[in-house]
Structure formats: structure tokens, C-alpha cells
Amino acid sequence: MSLTSNAGTLKPANILIGVPKKGRLNEKVSKLLDGAGLEYRRPDRVDVAVCTGLPVTLVFLPAADIAAYVGEGNVDMGITGQDILQETLSESPDAHITELLELGFGKCSLSLQAPVKDKISNAKELSGCRIVTSFPALTRAFFDKLDAETGRHTKVRTVSGSVEAACGLGLADAVVDLVETGTTMRAAGLDVVAEVMVSQAVLIANPNSSHQDLIALILKRIEGYITATQYMMISYNVRRESLGNTLAITPGKRSPTVSTLEEDGWVAVQALVRRKESNVKMDQLHDAGATDILLFPISNSRM
């Protein structure tokens, strides 16, 4: 897809947002955009979609290219991995990219991995060896420090995929690749020697974009959606004498809402609780004397 050739079809007033066109982040990003109220229709194989209701055009790009597009101002905002952001900044330190928000998914770590059979326990042992990776700038920076100590020169070779196969094929002594569950790494007979960086998906923007108002609005909407997915609303009734105990369990995000019930001596409480803790909190509230305990999902929020 060429942005230039599509330029005539894009509304010039629209902000451009680069989103991963496939791969690990694609599905989660679609859900995020939906939750943030960015509605669009993307016909099959078309890489540009105009949103309804907001002057936003989504541009579907390879995740690995999005930070560079944002940095060069081809798109105003983007969603990609922190690993790709840091690789782009490592390659082009003057790129104009601001990390606006960690999105809480796409969590993985970029790790130095070597064959288990080689029993390498320290990254320094690999200084001067052959390393294959899709993150050459970060790998170079990682080995430059080690090479300065050892006086050797590590050879870094770039491949665009299936990095884990490089040792088995005899192309590399070790690789720098992403690990989440470790399944891919173990299947290739590799083990982690050192962590280069941890990563998750992030929202990024070009600080020189002419669409600062829309950037702020979209950031607020996405923040609202993320908060909504992390929290749930709990409500319950409790006798006033037990209120102190139950409020200690549900202090809320800022503070809980307490209202008086018609029935004498009883109050109703509403509070935000972390989704992950919600079931434990319900058990604790029940044990502390609360009744009619209800849990509600939140579809979006503005804090």
C-alpha cells in the first residue's frame, strides 16, 4: 500500500492512525478501537479505513513499520510494540515519537537466547559470536557494551521472521527474539541467556502533528476504555455498623458512594474494584456482612 497514491482519497483534515494490519497485535487493537468508539468499515484487503463520527483515518501497516511512519510524520499516531518503538529510536534517535500510553497487552520480552546444549549462562560468553535478530539496533546496542569489555566484535545479522530457526540452521550462535510463553524458544532447543528489554503494546504520536486536539481526544478515549477493562463496579447493601469493615474492602478508585436505604440502619455502597480482584472482594464482602452484592462490567469511562 502506498500512502502517497491514496492521498487523493483521504480527507486532508483527518488524523492518520497507523494500526497493525495482522499479527499478534491486530485482534486486540481492533477490540481497543471498537471500545474507544472508533467505528470503521474495512473492506477485504483494503489498508485504509475512514472512521464514522470522528475525522480519523486508520492506516493498516506492518507493526514493525508503524513507529518509523509516526517518527517521520507519515501518520500522526500509531499502535505498536515498545520493542519496535525502542528499535526505531535506537536506529534514529532524532525520530519525533512520544509514547503516550501503555496498553496492557502484547506483553513479551526481547531476549538473548542460545542453544540449551551450549550451556551458556552469561551474555558476555556470546560477545564476538554471530547473532541473528529482527531487532538489529537494540541487539547492536546490547552487544556494544559487552564488546567494549571483551574487545571482541559481535556480528549481528538481520532476518525478518522465524528468528528461532537461525541456530539450528547454523546461521547463528545465538538469537535475540521475543518470548512470551517460551513455547517457540523451547521447541527450537533454545533458552534465555539474558533479557534485552520487556515490551507491551503502546499508543504513540508524533509531537509535531497538526492534530494535537484529536490526539488528546483519542488518548482520553483509549485511556477510558483501558480503565473500563481493568475495573468493575460493585454494589451491595450493608448494615451501617458493618460499613467500616466493608469500606476497607472496597475503598473505590477515588472513594466509594454511600447512600441511605429506606430501610432503617441500612446503606447501599457502590465502588470501583479491579477486575482481577473482584471475585475475592465479593467473597470478603459477604463474610463482612454485605448482602445483595452485584458486579457490573464498565464499557467505557472518563476519570
Ligand X SMILES: Nc1ncnc2c1ncn2[C@@H]1O[C@H](COP(=O)(O)OP(=O)(O)OP(=O)(O)O)[C@@H](O)[C@H]1O
Q: Give the footprint of ligand X on this chain (CB under 6 A).
A: 20, 22-25, 62-64, 81, 83-84, 106-108, 161, 178, 180, 199
| Member of 158, 162, 208, 210 binding ligand PRP (CB under 6 A) | 162
CA quadruple 7, 11, 13, 18: dihedral, nearest 10: -60
CB of 58 to ligand X, least distance (A): 16
Round to whole Å and give the CA distance between 189 and 172.
Answer: 13
Question: Cell numbers 468508539 correspond to what residue?
Answer: 37
Residue 18 near which of ligand X, ligand PRP, none (CB within 5-8 Å, type-dependent) = none
Half-sphere exposure of residue 214: CA atoms within 13 angstroms, side-chain side: 19
Among 2, 5, 9, 183, binds ligand PRP (CB under 6 A): 183
> Which residue from 181, 213, 254, 259 is in contact with ligand PRP, where contact means CB under 6 A?
181
| Residue 236: strand, helix, or coil | strand
Cβ atoms of 298 and 239 closer than 8 Å: no
Residue 106 interacting partner from ligand X, ligand PRP, none (CB closer than 5 to 8 Å by kind): ligand X
Q: From the list ligand X, ligand PRP, none, pick the one residue 191 interacts with, judged by a Cβ distance below 5 to 8 Å according to partner type.
A: none
Comparing CA positions, the residue from 62, 54, 41 lying closest to residue 15 is 54
Q: Quote the CA–CA distance of 99 and 33 in Å, as a whole number.
A: 18
Choose one: 85-93, 174-182, 226-234, 261-269; the region binding ligand PRP (CB under 6 A). 174-182
Q: Is residue 177 involved in binding ligand PRP (CB under 6 A)?
A: yes
Q: Which is nearer to ligand PRP, 87 or 164 (CB)?
A: 164
**Which residue has cell 500510553?**
101
Residue-wise burial string across 198-212, b where 16 or more C-beta atoms lie within 10 A, e elsewhere: ebebbbbbbeebebe
CB of 63 to ligand PRP, least distance (A): 9
For binding to ligand PRP (CB under 6 A), which residues are involved?
A: 23-24, 161-162, 164, 177-185
